[in-house]
Amino acid sequence: MTFLSIFSAALPIGIGATVVMDLWALLLRRLGIATLNMAMVGRWAGHLLSGRVRHQAIAKAEPVRHELALGWVIHYAIGVLFAVLLVVVAGEGWLLVPTLVPALALGVLTVVAPLCFMQPAMGAGFFASKTPMPARNCLKSLATHFVFGVGLFVSARLLASV
C-alpha cells in the first residue's frame, strides 16, 4: 500500500473513532465527570510552537489565540495518525474485514500518549500523578482510549461495508 492509500483509508476511520471518543466524553460530562478541555490542548500546542514543551499547570499558562480551535484540530489529527498506525500494523486485509482485537489493542495502547507525554507536559505528571485522584484519572483515560478502539473498529466496519 502506498502512503496515500493508507492515509485515504485511515482518514475516515480516525475521524469516526475520534467522534465516538467525543460522544463518550459528552456522556461523561453529562454525568458530571470532568473531561479534557480542548482549549488546554491548543494552549499547550501554541506554547510548543514558541519552544515551551513543559508547564507547571497548563490552565495557568498564558492563553493562546484560537486555542480551542487549535486543540480540536490537534485532537482529530492525532486520531487520524493513530488510525494510520492501525492500518499500517494490521494491514490491507484488515481494512477489508476489520476485526475487533487489533482496533481495541491499538486503542488501549494509545493511552500511553496522554499518560506519559501530554499530562506530564501540561503539569499533571506521569500517569496523572500530580492530580488529586491519579488512579481515577488513569482509569478514565484508559476507558476513553478503549472507547477510541471501539470507534476504530466500528468506523472500519462501516467503511468496509460501503
| pLDDT tens for each residue of 84-133 | 999 999 999 999 999 999 999 999 999 999 999 999 999 999 999 999 99
- Is residue 21 over pLDDT 90? yes
**Residue 46: its pLDDT value, please?**
93
- Is residue 76 over pLDDT 90? yes
Tell me the average pLDDT of the chain. 95
Q: Name the pTM for this structure.
A: 0.93
9 to each of 13, 62, 95, how far by Cα in Å?
Answer: 7, 38, 8
Asked whether 54 and 120 are in contact (CB, 8 A), the reply is yes
- Is residue 1 over pLDDT 90? no
User: How crowded is residue 37: how many other Cβ atoms within 10 Å of its Cβ?
Assistant: 14
The one-letter amino acid at 99: T
Q: What is the mean pLDDT of residues 53-62?
A: 92
Q: How do residues 65-75 score in pLDDT, each as one tens digit?
A: 999 999 999 99
Which contiguous run of DSSP H or E holds residue 108? Answer: helix 100-109
Q: What is the mean pLDDT of residues 23-46?
A: 95
- Is residue 24 over pLDDT 90? yes
Give domain limits for the chain. 3-31+77-161
